[in-house]
Structure 1
Amino acid sequence: MPHVHPALVIFLSLAALATSCTEKEKSSLLQFVAELSQDGGLTNSWENSTDCCRWEGITCSSDRTVTGVFLASKSLQGHISASLGNLTGLVCLNLSHNSLHGDLPLELLSSNSIAVLDVSFNLLNGDLQVLEKSTLRSLQVLNVSSNFFSGHFPSPTREAMKSLIALNASNNSFTGQIPTVFCVSAPSFAVLQLSYNQFSGRIPSELGNCSMLTSLNAGHNNLSGSLPDEFFNITLMEHLSLHDNQLEGTLNGISRLKNLATLNLGGNMFSGNIPYSIGELKKLVTIHLDHNSMSGELPPTLSNCTSLITIDFSSNNFSGGLKEVNFSNLPNLKTIDLMLNNFSGTIPESIYSCINLTALRLSSNKFHGQLSERIGNLKSLAFLSLVDNSLTNITSALQILSSCRNLTTLLIGKNFKNEAMPKDDAIDGFGNLRVLFLNDCSLSGKIPLWLSKLTNLEMLLLYNNELTGPIPDWINNLIFLFHINMYNNSLTGEIPTALMSMPMLEKDKVAPKPFELPIYTRSRQYRMAISFSTMLHVGRNNLTGVIPEEIGQLKALVSLDLRSNKLIGVIPQSICNLSNLEALDLSGNHLTGTIPIGLNNLHFLSKFNISNNDLEGPIPINGQLSTFPNSSFQGNPKLCGPMIARYCGSAETTITTNVTKNIDIKVISAIAFGAFFIVGVMYDQIVLSKAFC
C-alpha cells in the first residue's frame, strides 16, 4: 500500500496522546465485539471498567474521540458490525487478515471521517455496490483486496471519493472494465491495484486522465487489445504491471513513461522488437517481458538502463547474439533470465562483470562453446541454469564453476553430449550446492566420488546418461538428499542397503528455501525444493538381485521407480508400509510370488505398474488396486482377477476339477470292488476247506 498523506500521519501521531473515550464510543466498540462469533480474546481484554482509549488496538485523540481501530491478524470471525459507523471521529480502521464475512456495512461506508479503510485478507463477499451509495468524502486509502467480492466494480459519485489516493481491490472476482471514475473525481489518485480479478475488455483510454497515477497493477485478468496511445500520457507512472492478460501490439510508446521503475508485461501476446528508445528509461529497475511473442535482437541501448536489477525476457522469440548489449554498464543486475529463446553464439564476457548477479538463466537457447573462466568472478551467483544448449567440456565447466562458492542450484543438463563424467580428483568445491541437474547428457563413466562431498545436496538428477557400475554405498552420507533420479543408465549390481537408509527418504523434508528463480519441469513451475516430490527413480538400468526388505523404511517416499531392471524374488511385504506412495512402478523385471494384499491400503497411490513380471495368484480386489487398468498387470500369465479378465474361478478350472472328481470316484469304486472280490474268494476257500476236512 502507498504512503499515507503526511497530514494524516501527524494526526494519527497526536492520537497516541489520548487518555479516554466517550461512553457512546465505548458502547459502539463493545457492540462490535459482541456481534463477532470469535473475538480473538478482545472481550476479556476490553473491560467495561477501563478506559477504552487504553484498549488493545484502539487509539484516541486529545478530545477523547476514537480515531483508530487497529485489529489486524486477531483471529476475528463473524460479520462487521454497523456499530462502528457510530465512531464519528474514526480516521483509520484496519480489520485485515481475519476471517470476517458478509458485506461491508453501509453505515461504515457513510463515514465522513475515515481516511484509511483496510479490510483486506478476509472472507467478505457481495458486489460492493454499496459504494455507489457511500459518502466517503475523507477516504484516502481503500483496501478490499483478498476477499470474495464479485460483480462489476461500482462507480461512486465524483463527490463521494474525491480524496481517494489509493485503491486496492486485488484478488477478488470483480468483472467488467477497469474503473476510471477516480481519474476525474479524485485529482490526487495515485495507486490502482486490480490484479487477480476477472476484468475484461481493453485498457480504457480514460486512464490517460489519471495524471497523478504512479502505480497500476491489473495483472491476472482478461484484458485484451493494445495499449492506447493516451495511456502513455501518464508520465508520473513508476510501477506498471499488466502481466498475464491477453494484451497485444508493440511497445513503441513505452519510452514516454520516463519515470518507470517497474515494467511487468509478461504473460501476454506482445510482439515486435524491444524499441531502441528503451534506453531512455533511466530509472528502470525491473523489466519483465517474459512469455510473449517478441522477436529480434536485444537493442544495445538496454545498456543505458543503468539502474536495472532484474531482466526477464524468457519464453519469447528473441534471437542473435548478446554481445551488442554491454552488461558491464549494468552493475546492479541481480537476475538475468533469457530462457527459451533463440539466442546464439557464445555467452558474452560482459555478463561476468555483473558481480552482484545472483541468478543467471540462459537455458534452452543455442549457445555453444566452453564456459569462460571469468564466470568465476560471480561470487554472489546462487542460481545458474544453462540447460539445453550446446556447451562442451564438462570437466572444465565444473572446475570453473566450483569457484562460485555461493552456488546452491546448478542446472546444466542437455549439454556436454557423449562426454565422460569428470574423474574424482578433478572436481572440488560446491559445498553449498542443493540442486544438481546433470541429466540428458549421455555421460559415460561411473557415479563419481566427488558427488559425496556435496553434503548439502537435496536433489540429484542423473537420468538419461550412460553411467555404469554400482550405486555407491556412500550415497547415504548425503543426509539431505530426497529427490534421486538415475533413470535410464546402465547401472549394475544390487540395490544397495545404503540406499535404504537415506535420512530424507525416511522422514519429512527440510524447511522450505525458495530458489532465486523458479525451476520449470514438464510445464510445471517450482519455486522451492520442498515442492518436488520425495522420489527414488532407478528404473531402466541393469540392477540385479532382490528388492531389499528394508525398503519399507523409506516412509517419506512419494514415487518409487524400479522398472526395467533384472530384479528377482518377491515384492517385499514391507513395501506396503510406504503409505505416502503416489507412484509405484516395478514393471519389466523377473519378480515372482503373489501381490501383497497390503498394497490395497496405499490410498494415495495413483500410478501403479507391475506388468511384465512372473507374478502369480489372485490380484487383491476391494481396494486401491482395483482402480488401475489391466495394463498395470498384463504380462503376468499366472495372475488372475477381474482387472485382467482372467477369473480365478474360471470354467477351465471347474472342468479340470470335475474330471479329477470323476477319476477319483472310479478309482475308489475299483478299489472297493476289488476288496469285496478278494474277501468273497477268501470266504469261499474257508468254507470249502472245512467241508473237505
Structure 2
Amino acid sequence: MCSITVPPVVLQLLLLLSLASPATSCTEEEKRPLLQFLAGLSRDGGLAVSWRDDTDCCEWEGITCNGDGAVTELSLASKGLEGHITPFLANLTSLLCVDLSHNSFSGGLPPELMFSTSIIVLNVSFNQLYEALHELQPSVTTSRPLQVLNISSKQFSSEFPSATWKVMKNLIALNASNNSFTGHVPSSICLGSPSLSLLDLCYNKLSGDIPTTFGNCSKLKVLKAGHNNLSGILPVEIFRATSLEYLSFPNNGLQGELDGAHIVKLSNLATLDLGGNHFTGNIPQSIGQLKRLRELHLGCNNISGEVPSALSNCTHLISIVLNLNNFSGDLSKVNFSTLNSLKSLDLMGNTLSGIFPESIYTCSNLTALRLSTNHFHGEISSRIGNLKHLSFLSLADNSFTNITQAFHALKRCRNISALLIGGNFMNEAMPQDETIDSFQNLQMQMPMLKSNKTGIYLDPILLDLDLPIYQAPSLQYRIGSAWPKGLNLGQNKFTGVIPSEIGQLKELLYLNLSFNNLYGGIPQSICNLMNLQGLDLSNNHLTGAIPAALENLNFLSQFNVSNNDLEGPIPTSGQLSTFQNSSFDGNPKLCGPMLMHHCGSVEAAPVSIISAKQCSNEVIFAISFGVFFGVGVLYDQLVLSRYFG
C-alpha cells in the first residue's frame, strides 16, 4: 500500500498545534461551521455527546484552538463518521489542519477546502469520496497556502486535475494514490509547485508519457507512479531532479534502457523500482556509484547481460529483486561479502549459471533468498549455515546435486520456515537416516489449507520482503490469502496409502496425487473437503469402491480416477454422474450407466474406509516431503497441475 510521508516542516507545525491551549472560549462564529459539519453526518461516531451547543467548542473532541479561541485543527481520523463533508468548514478562517481520514465520507471533496485561504494540511484519505475533484477556475489566480494534500485510497475515477496545481505554489506533499484517476500526469505539477517534495500517484489509471518537466522538481525526494498505464521511456530530464531519494514506476508499460551516464546524477537515490515494465539492455556498471542505494527492484523486465559486479559497491543495499529477466553469466562475479545489510535477494527465472556464489554465505542478515529456475549446479556448501536469519530459501529448478550433503548443510539454517528445493538432485535417493529430522521450523502441517484464517500463520518477515508469488509475469500474488489453495504431489514415486488426515485440509481447492504408486482405498475423509473443485487420483493402484459421499462435493468440476483397480458401482445420484467415462477409464471392475459395463442388481460393493491407523508414518513422511518437492513449484511459481489448468 502506498503511504504519505509528512515533511519535517509540517511535522513541526503540527507539533505546535498539538501544544496549543485556548486562553479564551471559542466564539459563535467558530462554533457555527462545526455544528453545520455535525448536522451533515448520517453517523456521528458519538461526536454529538461532546459537540454540544452549550459547551466551549475548544473542548470538543478532535478540536484544537489557539490562544484567541479560534479553531486551528480538526482531527477526526478513524471515528466511524458517515455522510458528506460540508464546505462550511472553510468559514473557519484560522483552520490550519483538517484530518478526516479513515472514515466513510461519501460524495465529493468541497473545493472550498482545497482552495482555502488558511488550510495547510488536508487529509481525507481512506474514505468513499467519488465525485470528481473540482478543477481550478480561471478566475482563481492567488496562490493558496496548502502544503500537504492526501486524497489517497478513495473512489475517484475522474480525470486527474491539471490546472489546479498552478495556484498550489506552497505544496510540499501530494498523495493521490489508490484511486482510479485517468488522463495524463500533468506537466504543470512541478512548474506550479516548486517546493514539491513528495508525489505519489501509484495505483491509478493514468496513461501517456512521463512529463519531462519533472526535471524542474529541484526539491522532489519521493516520486511514485507505479501500477498505472504509463508508456514511453524514462525522460533524461528526470535525472535533473537530483534530490530524488525514491524513484518508483513499477508495473507500467515503460521501455528503453537504463542510461548509465544519467543515472549516476541521482546520487541521493535510496530506492529504484522499475519492475514490471519492458526495459531492455543491461544494468550499467555505473550503478555502483549510487552509494546510498538500499533497494533495487528491476524484476519482470527484459533486461539481459550479467548482473553487474559493481553492485558490490552499493554497500547499503537491503533488497535486490532482479527476477524474471534474461540475466546470464556467472553470479560469482558479484562480491556479496560487501553487502552486509542485504536481507532479500531474488534472482528467480533467469539463465544464470555456475556454482552457488560462495560470497553469499557472508550476508549474515539475509532472510530471503530465491535463486530458483536458473542453471546453477554443484553442491550446497555447509557454509550456508552462516545465514543464521535465513527464513525463506528457494533453489528449485536448477541442477544441484548430492541431496544428502544438501540436507546436512541446510539443517544448520535453524530459522528456515520455507524451503523449496524441488527440480534438483535428479535420480538421487532420499536420505534414509535422521538427516532431515532437524528442520524443526519447517511448516509442513499446511495450516493455510486447514483454515481460512491464513493471516495468523504468515511469517511477517516474508510479507515485508518483496517476493511475490507468480503464476505468470503479469499475475502475481502478494498475500497468502490470495494464493489458490492446491496440493499437487502428482508425478512422483510415492507409495503407501492415502492418509486419512488429508481430510483435515478443509480449505483445499485442488488435490492432485496422480501418477504415483499409491494403493489401498480412497479415504472416506476426502468427502470432508467441501470446497474441493478438482480431484485427480488417476494412474495409481487404488482399490475398493468409490465413496458414495463424494457426490456431496458440490463444487467438484474436475474429477479423474482413471487407471486404477477400483470396483463396484459408480455413485450416480449426485455430482459424480456429471463426469464422462474418461474420468473412470482403466478400472475394469467399475460399473455404471456412463460406462460400457452396467451394474447388475446383485452387484454391491462396500464403501472403502481407510482408518488413520492404516496410514503408516512412512506415508505421512512422504506426503510431508512432497511439500518440499511438489508444492515447491506451487509456492514458488504457482504452476498448478496440468490436469487442473
TM-score range, shorter chain: 0.7 to 0.9
* Correspondence for 1:298: 307
* CA deviation after TM superposition for structure 1 residue 140, in Å: 0.4
Match of 2:119 among 98, 114, 119: 114
- Give the corresponding residue for 1:242: 249
SS at match of 1:278: helix
Contact 1:518 1:526 (C-alpha < 8 Å) held by counterparts: no
1:318 partner letter: F
User: Which residue pairs with 1:97 in the alignment?
Assistant: 102
Instruction: Please give the TM-score of this superposition, normalised by the length of structure 2.
Output: 0.81
After alignment, is 399-408 or 193-202 more displaced?
399-408
Residue 182 of structure 2 aligns to a residue in which SS? strand
Task: Give the direction of change, closer, same or farther, for the CA distance of 1:628–1:147 in structure 2 (3 Å limit).
Answer: farther
Letter in 2 for 1:187: P
C-alpha distance in 2 between matches for 1:53 and 1:626: 73
Aligned to 1:61: 66
User: Could you tell me which residue of structure 2 aligns to residue 418 of structure 1?
Assistant: 427
The yes-or-no answer on 1:214 pairing with 2:221 is yes
Instruction: State the secondary structure of the residue aligned to 2:292.
Output: coil
Paired residue for 1:2, among 5, 9, 14?
5
1:230 and 1:507 map into 2 onto residues whose CA distance is: 49
Aligned to 1:85: 90
Deviation for aligned residue 1:285: 0.9
Secondary structure of the corresponding residue to residue 283 of structure 2? coil
SS at match of 2:288: helix
Describe the SS at the equivalent of 1:584: strand
Secondary structure of 1:263's counterpart equals strand
Could you say if the C-alpha distance between residues 197 and 610 of structure 1 is closer, same or farther in structure 2, counting changes exceeding 3 Å? same
1:166 deviates by 1.1
Structure 2 counterpart of 1:691: none
2:145 is matched with 138
Whole-angstrom CA distance in 2 between matches of 1:160 and 1:348: 55
Alignment of 1:161-200 (within 5 A): 161-200=168-207
- Residue 585 of structure 1 corresponds to 536
Shift of 1:290: 0.9
Q: Which amino acid aligns with 2:467?
A: P
Between Structure 1 and Structure 2, which shows a larger proportion of strand residues?
1
Alignment RMSD (CA, Å): 3.3
Q: 1:328 to 1:585 in 2, by over 3 A?
A: closer
Q: Contact conserved, 1:224 with 1:247, CA < 8 A, in 2?
A: yes
CA distance in 1, matches of 2:429, 2:508: 31
Q: Decide whether the 8 Å contact of 1:111 with 1:136 is kept in 2.
A: no
Matched-pair contact (CA < 8 Å) for 2:300–2:325:
yes
| TM-superposed deviation, 1:628 | 5.3
Q: 1:93 to 1:630 in 2, by over 3 A?
A: farther
| Conserved 8 A contact 1:506-1:553 | no
Q: Which amino acid aligns with 1:105?
A: P
Kept in 2: contact 1:239–1:261 (CA 8 A)? yes
1:433-459 deviation per Cα after TM superposition (whole angstroms, max 9, x unaligned): x3xxxxxxxxxxxxxxxxxxxxxx23x
Q: Distance in 2 between matches of 1:14 and 1:99?
A: 29
Say whether the 8 Å CA contact 2:551–2:571 is kept in structure 1.
no
Counterparts in 2 of 1:16 and 1:412: CA distance versus 1, 3 Å? farther
Q: Distance in 1 between matches of 2:358 and 2:496?
A: 48
Paired residue secondary structure (1:333): coil
The correspondence of residues 446-465 of structure 1 with structure 2, limited to 5 A, is: 457-458=443-444
Residues 571 and 592, structure 1, Cα contact 8 Å, conserved in 2: no
Aligned residue identity for 2:317: L
Q: Does 1:605 align with 2:567?
A: no
Listed one character per residue, the Cα deviations across residues 7-53 of structure 1 (whole Å, up to 9, x for unaligned) are 63354244345664222332322322222222222223433333222
Q: Which moves more between the two structures, 46-55 or 507-516?
A: 507-516
CA shift, 1:281, in A, is 0.8
User: Aligned with 1:277: secondary structure?
Assistant: helix
* Correspondence for 2:369 among 356, 360, 370: 360
Q: Distance in 2 between matches of 1:89 and 1:367?
A: 66
**Structure 2 counterpart SS, 1:323:** helix
Q: Where does residue 495 of structure 1 map in the other structure? A: none
1:314-346 residue CA offsets vs partner (Å, 9 max, x unmatched) = 111111112332222222111111111122111
Change over 3 Å in CA distance of 1:175–1:48 after alignment to 2: same
The amino acid of 1:386's aligned partner reads L
Larger mean CA deviation between 388-397 and 28-37 belongs to 28-37
What's 2:467 paired with?
518
2:282 is equivalent to residue 273 of structure 1: yes
Alignment TM-score, normalising by the size of structure 1: 0.76
d(CA) in 2 for partners of 1:579 and 1:240? 47
Name the amino acid aligned to 1:3. V
- Shift in Å at residue 80 of structure 1? 1.5
- CA distance, structure 2, for counterparts of residue 259 and residue 411 of structure 1: 37
Deviation larger for 148-157 or 529-538: 529-538
Query: Does the CA contact (< 8 Å) of 1:512 and 1:530 recur in 2?
Result: no
Pick aligned residue for 2:344 from 335, 338, 345: 335
CA contact (8 A) 2:187 2:212 kept: no
CA distance in 1, matches of 2:143, 2:595: 72
1:610 deviates by 4.5
SS in 2 for 1:320: strand
SS of the residue corresponding to residue 26 of structure 1 reads helix
Higher relative contact order at CA 8 Å, sep ≥6: structure 1 or structure 2? 2
Determine the C-alpha separation between the residues in 1 that align with 2:341 and 2:323. 20
Q: 1:19·1:51 contact (CA, 8 Å) conserved in 2?
A: no
Distance 2:157 2:382 in 1: 56
User: Residue 37 of structure 1 aligns to a residue in which SS?
Assistant: strand
Q: Secondary structure at the match of 1:69?
A: strand
Aligned residues: 580
CA contact (8 A) 1:149 1:173 kept: yes
Aligned-partner residue type, residue 608 of structure 1: F
Structure 1 residues 250 and 49: CA distance shift in structure 2, 3 A: same
2: CA distance between counterparts of 1:543 and 1:426? 21
Work out the CA distance in 1 between the residues paired with 2:546 and 2:316: 67
**Distance verdict in 2 for CA 1:594–1:32, change over 3 Å:** same
Q: Distance in 1 between matches of 2:567 and 2:30?
A: 81
Measure how far apart 1:218 and its partner are: 0.7
Question: CA shift at 1:578, angstroms?
Answer: 3.3
Shift of 1:116: 0.9
Name the residue aligned to 2:55: 50
Deviates more, 1:313-322 or 1:535-544: 535-544
CA spacing shift, 1:136–1:513, aligned 2, 3 Å = farther
Change (3 A) 1:593 1:424: closer
The 3 A distance-change label for structure 1 pair 595 and 619 is: farther
Q: State the match for 1:486 in structure 2.
A: none
Unpaired runs of at least 5, structure 2: 602-645
Measure the CA separation in 2 of the matches of 1:139 and 1:629. Answer: 68
Residue 582 to residue 17, structure 1, CA distance change in 2 (3 Å): farther
Alignment match of 1:152 (pick from 159, 172, 175)? 159
Deviation of 1:242 after TM superposition, in Å, equals: 0.6
With over 3 angstroms needed to count, the CA separation of the structure-2 counterparts of 1:91 and 1:517, relative to structure 1, is: closer
How far apart, in 2, do the equivalents of 1:571 and 1:352 lie?
Answer: 45
Look up the equivalent residue of 2:177 and give its one-letter code.
Answer: S
CA positional deviation for 1:227: 1.3
Structure 2 counterpart of 1:512, one-letter code: L
Paired AA for residue 513 in structure 1: D
| Residue equivalent to 1:233 | 240
1:121 deviates by 1.2
Which residues of structure 1 form unaligned runs of 5+?
A: 435-456, 459-479, 484-503, 654-693
Aligned-pair CA distance for 1:631: 4.4
